[in-house]
Structure 1
Amino acid sequence: MIEPILRAQGINKSFGAVVASKNISLDLEVGEIHALIGPNGSGKSSFIRQIAGDLKPDAGQVHFNGLDVTSLSVAARARMGMGRTFQISSLAMDYTVLQNAMLGVLGRRGGVYRFFHPVMRDDYLLSNARVALRQVDLQDCEKTRTADLSHGQRRQLEVAVALALQPKAFLMDEPMAGLGVEGTHALVQLLETLKQRAPILLVEHDMDAVFALADRISVLVYGEIIATGSADDIRSNSLVRSAYLGEET
């Protein structure tokens, strides 16, 4: 039996009297998209931050690729192959598309973010960054300043930066946020192809996208997972409908 690439066990996190994570256990299998959904304020982003390493759980463990990474930093987890995209863009807006992709390669290699003049002559960085841009169909935009991209293209670039890490898994926090119908459709198609390269733990509010993409869905309410199953399982779960989906339908 193939072990999950990612496993969170008994994750607990509180901020004073506010419980953000209550004994959360969740895993991500090879070749799947596992969506995490829930109302605003249910603790989804806090949980993703604990998986990524920039928020330490009060209790519980995170295992990635067979290793306990609970005490490791964000950078260490990224070098191990944990690729991440953010709810709010983290791209360097004044850099070109190619330079942003190269930052992803630097992150994988563990290099210091040096000045770009010598770095731009580094064939290893250039070739790997261009491979990532081709995978998201941005190869014709490499000289474009990132601030001049459309919102949808910036989402594609975030995926390219994550791909440059050669990830073993993706963590994606609301990648559809702010996209129109066409942009969402394009990103859904991209994520569907990506999951065979690296499985995706997806936090998303767009229920049409979630039900189109997810192999499994977990529902988080008040910091606690109340159900996990297929899209059909979640749609038909009366507890989920009353706690969350009823708001959306």
Structure 2
Amino acid sequence: MADPVLATRGLSKAFGALQASDAITLDLRAGEIHAVIGPNGAGKSTLIAQICGSLAPDAGRVEFLGRDVTQESMQARAARGLARTFQTSALAMEDTVLQNVLLGALGASGRPWRFFSRASRDAALRDRAEAALEAVGIADLSELRTAELSHGQRRQLEVAVALTMEPKAFVMDEPMAGLGQEGSKRLTGFLDGLRAQAPILLVEHDMDAVFALADRISVLVYGKVIATGSVAEIRRDPLVRDAYLGDDA
């Protein structure tokens, strides 16, 4: 079996007496969507923060593309191609769709932000930004103010920004949050195709989306992974049913 693209090995983090991450070991393989599910307070946000570099673990390590990146900053991991989308949108709402993606392309180029005023006139940067918008299906909205987008379109824009980094893996924090049934269905279809560009570690509460998308699922409860397996294996696991899924199984 090929080495994983992204992996945690014995990742642990405590806040006082609360063990938010308890020796978590999981991995993300090329071409797959690996979902992480669990009840509120299970430690999913803490896990994401450690994987992406905004929170240092107490023990264990994070590996990306075969390299130990545990001591690297969030920016360094992003530069290596670890792309994160947030539960709460981090877009510049008063800027246009294209301007948001140009910011991402500028950051990926390594040039200082003070050159942003020139970015729109840089053919290479503009081509990268427009290609990302085309890839997510919102190229026709490029001149629209971001605040005018629907919630689902903003999710697509966040992915477009991430695509300008030429990511090797995505970490997505509840992309379905705030979407209605129809919006969730559309985004599910979009993410299903996105795995061909880069594998996705997906943290999500929408179990319909998880069951439709995931190649594997890890279940996190009180900071521990209690099960990892296929959709079918997780559905019939009695420990998972008791701890989280209940009737959703």
- TM-score bracket, shorter-length normalisation: over 0.9
Give unmatched runs, 5+ long, in structure 1.
none
1:178 corresponding residue in structure 2? 178
1:10 aligns with 2:10: yes
Q: Give the CA deviation at 1:197.
A: 1.1
Give unmatched runs, 5+ long, in structure 2.
none
Q: Is the deviation greater in 28-37 or in 107-116?
A: 107-116
TM-score by length of 2: 0.97
CA distance in 2, matches of 1:214, 1:241: 17
CA distance in 2, matches of 1:115, 1:92: 17
Q: Deviations over 1:191-229 (max 9, x none)?
A: 111111100000000000000000000000000000000
Paired amino acid for 2:219: V
Q: Deviations over 1:37-78 (max 9, x none)?
A: 000010001101100000110111101011111011111111
Deviating above 3 A after TM superposition, structure 1's stretches of 4 or more consecutive aligned residues are none
2:220 corresponding residue in structure 1? 220
Percent identity, please: 61
Contact kept in structure 2, 1:97 and 1:143, CA below 8 Å: yes
Q: Give the CA deviation at 1:107.
A: 2.3
Paired amino acid for 1:131: A
Q: Give the CA deviation at 1:164.
A: 1.1
SS in structure 1 at match of 2:212: helix
SS in structure 2 at match of 1:127: helix
CA distance in 2, matches of 1:110, 1:49: 23
Q: Give the CA deviation at 1:94.
A: 1.3
SS in structure 2 at match of 1:114: helix
Q: What is the number of residues matched between the two proteins?
A: 249
Q: Give the CA deviation at 1:169.
A: 0.3
Paired amino acid for 1:106: L
TM-score by length of 1: 0.97
1:78-117 alignment, distance < 5 Å: 78-114=78-114, 116-117=116-117
Q: Give the CA deviation at 1:105.
A: 1.4
Paired amino acid for 1:54: S
Contact kept in structure 1, 2:101 and 2:160, CA below 8 Å: yes
Q: CA RMSD of the aligned region, Å?
A: 1.1
Contact kept in structure 1, 2:31 and 2:198, CA below 8 Å: yes
Paired amino acid for 1:246: G
Contact kept in structure 1, 2:103 and 2:116, CA below 8 Å: no
Contact kept in structure 2, 1:93 and 1:146, CA below 8 Å: yes
Q: Give the CA deviation at 1:117.
A: 2.5
Q: Give the CA deviation at 1:247.
A: 6.7
